[in-house]
Amino acid sequence: MNIEVKNKMLDAWIREVAEMCTPDEIYVCNGSRKEYDQMIQQLLDSGIAIPLKKRPNSYLFRSDPSDVARVEDNTYISTPSRTEAGPTNNWIAPDKLKKTMKDLYEGCMKGRTMYVIPFSMGPIGSPISKIGVEISDSPYVVVNMHIMTRVSDRVLELLGTNGEFIPCLHSIGAPLEEGQEDSKWPCAPIEKKYISHFPEENLIWSYGSGYGGNALLGKKCLALRIASAMAKREGWMAEHMLILRLTNPEGKQFHIAAAFPSACGKTNLAMMQPSVPGWKCECVGDDIAWMKIGPDGRLYAINPENGFFGVAPGTSYDTNPMAMDTLKENVIFTNCALTDEGDVWWEGIDGDPPKHAIDWKGNDWTPDSTDVAAHANARFTAPAAQCPVICEDWEKPEGVPIDIFIFGGRRSSVVPLVTEAYNWDHGVFLGSTAASETTAANIGAVGNLRRDPFAMKPFCGYNMGDYFQHWMEMGDKLGDKAPRCFYVNWFRKSEDGKFLWPGFSDNSRVLKWMCERVDGKAGAEETPIGLLPKDGDLDTQGLDTSADDLKELLKVDAEAWKAEIPDIENHFTTFGDRLPDRLKKQLEEFRHRLG
């Protein structure tokens, strides 16, 4: 070990893992720039990293075709009983799962270095932050964790001799025999990939994958699955939400946290450039919000991450100029195409396709090729601090006060552009019934309706019925200081299949109405599904949307909503007796309002 570890629990854990996994060396990370550069050099020397001539200090990686996304089927929530994990999670009993994984871990780091990565989720020392330590045998994981979390020897100092941390064990599952040549992307076959969470012990064990959320254990594993269970126990919230600050022309600030399933424009909204004159938008976070009740009784949020791990395909100056400006340097790209000029390329980026490129699998590609150049889930890992619209308070230890919650999904019909909940319980009802029509980015047939409560279905680390109850209880604690709840749908279409709402920067018009509702400056019309903008309430100045289209966007068709009720009932039935009575009451009130 390169440095002495003073924390007794951590030292014992490192030794225990080393004995089981038998690495050749142990290296404790300090988070320095020098360390990052050394890791990159190692990845360059092994031929895994490809330097990009067009982007300073940026590199391209190609993963194995079997290791390109989160493996939801191999992701487990391991609790003493299946009921505690709930119907939305894969479950294996802790003893059984630990035995399976210990057998896999036996000698799995042979021929490799075991990296000990101390990191903070959230600003180091913030009362909302948590400390984790990831042990991994992948230098690719080390450099990504440097960007996505706060890796630092200060974390070890903060831990002292007996501070608590969340242990995260990861191995790519590819031991090397002496003299054996390493593969370009070592990983285990799909049937041996396990992403395991033990919420009662705040413990994460991952094996066999080197990619994304399977391997960067601070991301979905800690920041959502383990954190959501901790938040329930400790009385706070860990949510799959972007955080943004909107400032009106008078200088008043509003903070918004929004939950959307994948392919619903979350990152685009987080970095939005408002089309409404005088309004300003700044990004606090694009993916995850940790929220605690502050001394004044309001809910305060931090972004626990330090970087953006975004989907590249579809990102362009048209869809998200601020993301594109964030990607000019110091970026890790994975599974994008490589142009002959030494830059990355993906489907949906600005400009014409290159005449020739090397695709994400390392093969020649031209516009005539039948395969895509970049994998649909190709990613960029970029420091959040590089974002041109990053909020100056994004690292404020106490967080920012949340005024508004937004839920949403992708619906071509039925759901109007924006709805405000009548009250907190109604807001929880809207969040718990959130649904999206599946796209190519989701698993399942395109166009099917998929319920994704609070956009947390793949990420809730315990029974989701209990999670709904936790939302109810947080509302009780917050009382009249609770954020207002809204539901949006940017994706409603006309009968001939065209989008009715322009979206992107014009979404600021909808957010402006929400802020004016919070301020008591805008009216609303009561409907069976909630409060909607009255005629003239939405700022449509300069907008090229016809009056008929606007009417269609805000239409509430009671018969279409009645047809939704059996699906909502079926969804709620999934949670059995864990479904809060208050949600059953909301459904009955909803049915009654529809007549």
- pLDDT tens-digit map of 386-414: 999 999 999 999 999 999 999 999 999 99
- What is the mean predicted confidence (pLDDT) over 415-426? 98
Find the helix packing angle between 581-594 and 424-432, rounded to 10°: 90
Q: Residue 59 and residue 171: Cα distance in Å, rounded?
A: 22
What's the CATH class of domain 238-306+393-594?
alpha beta
CATH number of 308-386: 2.170.8.10
Q: Residue 238 and residue 591: Cα distance in Å, rounded?
A: 31
CATH number of 8-50+68-235: 3.40.449.10
pLDDT in tens, 296-336: 999 999 999 999 999 999 999 999 999 999 999 999 999 99
Catalytic residue of the set 187, 264, 391, 460: 264
The reply to whether domains 238-306+393-594 and 308-386 share a CATH topology is: no
- What is the mean predicted confidence (pLDDT) over 191-209? 97
Q: What is the pLDDT, as a whole number, of residue 265?
A: 87
Q: What is the pLDDT, as a whole number, of residue 262?
A: 80
Q: Is the pLDDT of residue 417 over 50?
A: yes
Give the predicted TM-score (pTM) of the model.
0.97
Confidence of residue 545 (pLDDT cuts 50, 70, 90): very high
Is 387 considered catalytic here? no
Range with lowest mean pLDDT among 20-24, 164-168, 445-449, 585-589: 445-449
Q: Residue 62 and residue 80: Cα distance in Å, rounded?
A: 38
Q: What is the pLDDT, as a whole number, of residue 3?
A: 87
Q: What are the residue boundaries of the structural domains of the chain, listed by start?
A: 8-50+68-235, 238-306+393-594, 308-386
Q: What is the pLDDT, as a whole number, of residue 264?
A: 87
Q: Residue 172 and residue 162: Cα distance in Å, rounded?
A: 29
- Helix ranges, 22-86 (H): 33-45, 82-85
**Strand extents, DSSP E, 211-288:** 237-239, 242-247, 253-259, 280-285
Q: What is the pLDDT, as a whole number, of residue 441?
A: 46
pLDDT in tens, 57-82: 999 999 999 999 989 999 999 999 99
SS3 36: helix
Q: Is the pLDDT of residue 25 over 80?
A: yes
- What is the mean predicted confidence (pLDDT) over 460-488? 98
pLDDT in tens, 261-280: 887 889 999 999 999 999 99
Residue type, 18: A
Q: What is the pLDDT, as a whole number, of residue 439?
A: 60
Q: What is the pLDDT, as a whole number, of residue 555?
A: 97
Instruction: Report the mean per-residue pLDDT for the chain.
Output: 96
What secondary structure, in 3-state letters, does 514-558 show? HHHHHCCCCCCEEECCEEECCCCCCCCCCCCCCHHHHHHHCCCCH
- Helix ranges, 308-443 (H): 321-326, 424-432
